[in-house]
DNA sequence: GCCAACGTTGGC
DNA sequence: GCCAACGTTGGC
């Protein structure tokens, strides 16, 4: 069964435009260092799951594109790169701690901003809007996916 | 830059 | 296993 996700990226690191410019509009979702988010990628996601591409930690946080899960999980290479900010000295090649999936942008949309999302009653119970939420990957209910993709004409 | 909220670490 | 201290996220 296809599931839906919201995945946060800091546009200073990888924006939706950066992803679109990549080969096949596909980027490895590097840098996740939270176990819950990792478990979603490693254990739950399937190829073709729907993804809301979200810009965080920026001037106008919001959903900026529709994407899809484009690979099965594999070890995040940055955990082994000594020069990377995501280097994890405790992770071993033979038992990698951090996994990721590839994400392919299907369509860039207008920015459905965080304030606009908060203003829509039908979206109020989205996990990403819950107070104190810091999780960079959250599951999205089918009703929310349908509402948002329709709203964005995607 | 501030700070609320939450996750992780490590001593005990 | 508890929990204080610390670090990070991310909106504002």
> In the complex, which nucleotide's C1' lies nearest to the CA atom of residue A9?
C10
Distance A8 CA to C7 C1' (A): 20
pTM: 0.95
> In the complex, which nucleotide's C1' lies nearest to the CA atom of residue A134?
C9
CB proximity A24–strand B (7 Å threshold): no
Q: What is the pLDDT of residues A48-75, one digit of tens each?
A: 999 999 999 999 999 999 999 999 999 9
CATH class of the A4-151 domain in this structure: alpha beta
Q: How many CB atoms lie within 10 A of CB A84?
A: 14
CB proximity A56–strand C (7 Å threshold): yes
Is residue A20 within 8 A of residue A30, CB to CB? The reply is: no
Q: What is the pLDDT of residues A11-53, one digit of tens each?
A: 999 999 999 999 999 999 999 999 999 999 999 999 999 999 9
Query: Is residue A147 very low, low, confident or very high in pLDDT (cuts 50, 70, 90)?
Result: very high
Closest by CA to A104, choosing from A21, A10, A13, A2, is A21
């Amino acid at each position: 069964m296809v599931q839906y996700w919201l995945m946060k990226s800091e546009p200073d690191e990888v924006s939706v435009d950066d992803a679109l410019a990549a080969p096949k509009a596909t980027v490895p979702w590097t840098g996740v260092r939270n176990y819950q988010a990792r478990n979603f990628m490693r254990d739950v996601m399937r190829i073709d799951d729907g993804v809301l591409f979200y810009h965080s930690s920026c001037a106008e946080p919001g959903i900026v594109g529709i994407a899809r899960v484009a690979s099965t999980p594999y070890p995040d290479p940055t955990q082994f790169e000594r020069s990377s900010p995501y280097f994890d000295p405790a992770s071993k090649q033979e038992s990698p701690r951090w996994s990721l999936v590839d994400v392919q942008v299907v369509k860039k949309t207008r920015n459905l901003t965080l304030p606009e999302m908060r203003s829509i009653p039908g979206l109020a119970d989205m996990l990403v809007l819950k107070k104190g939420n810091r999780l960079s990957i959250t599951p999205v209910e089918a009703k929310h996916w349908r509402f948002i993709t329709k709203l964005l004409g995607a």
